[in-house]
Amino acid sequence: MEELKILASLSNAKSKYDIPEPLRLEYLLALILGKKYGIKKLYSNLIYNENGIPLSYAPAGKIDLEYQDFLFEATMIKNRNQQLNSETTSIARHMKESKDKRQEDLRTMLVAPYIHWDVALFFKFCAKEFESKIAPITISKFIELIENSPNFIDFQINFDNFVKQLLIEQTQNYIDSINFN
């Protein structure tokens, strides 16, 4: 968790990994989920070397990480326009294609250092349009989600609460709650 706290700017410690931040975030999500909840149905689409260290991001057209009924997209992009243009539509497309292919409901999460209002609004629209559980959360809220979810069922329930919050609250209130609380 300390490594995620470094990426979330919650710790001044130096990372023990010599991996660029965006790649490290994807890698850490896979490690943390696998360690806490097990590796069954854990698929990281990163490219790894022979020692299990990530070399490059998930190939274009693939979601970063799949775990059970979750799709995860991780980004260190903080700029509003880049986040909106680079992360939103591909996540929605991955979710819809995976949902159609699997014929099951999926949960989809964007994890980033900061979530912009426009991005949350896009996710709110997608959640309603596709009747799906999809939400953007900050790295710090992901840490809380993991810490407050002793088992995977609790993780699902607690994530569903983020989706409910996104859908029922004003978008600005959702943004304030995940970025500043």
**DSSP letters spanning 6-42:** HHTTS--PPPS--S-HHHHHHHHHHHHHHHHH-STTE
CB count within 10 Å of CB 135 equals: 27
The architecture in CATH of the region 2-180 reads 3-Layer(aba) Sandwich (3.40)
Q: What is the pLDDT of residue 85?
A: 86
Q: 124-162, pLDDT tens digit by residue?
A: 999 999 899 999 999 999 999 999 999 999 999 999 999
Confidence of residue 23 (pLDDT cuts 50, 70, 90): very high
**32-36 long-range contacts, Cβ below 8 Å, gap at least 24?**
32/1, 32/4, 32/146, 33/65, 33/67, 36/146
How large is the average pLDDT for residues 65-70? 95
Residues in contact with 95: Cβ distance below 8 Å, sequence separation at least 6, in sequence order = 71, 106, 108, 126, 130, 132, 134
In angstroms, what CA-CA distances link 40 with 99, 143, 152?
A: 19, 21, 12
pLDDT tens-place string over residues 115-126:
999 999 999 999
Q: Which two tokens stand for residue 83?
A: 């986040």
pLDDT score recorded for residue 163: 98
What distance in Å separates the CA atoms of residue 22 and residue 131, rounded to the nearest whole number? 29
Find, among 32, 31, 58, the residue nearest to 45 by Cα: 58
Residue 4 has pLDDT above 80, yes or no: yes
Domain range annotation of the chain? 2-180
Give the separation between CA 37 and CA 35, rounded to whole angstroms. Answer: 6
Amino acid at residue number 100: D
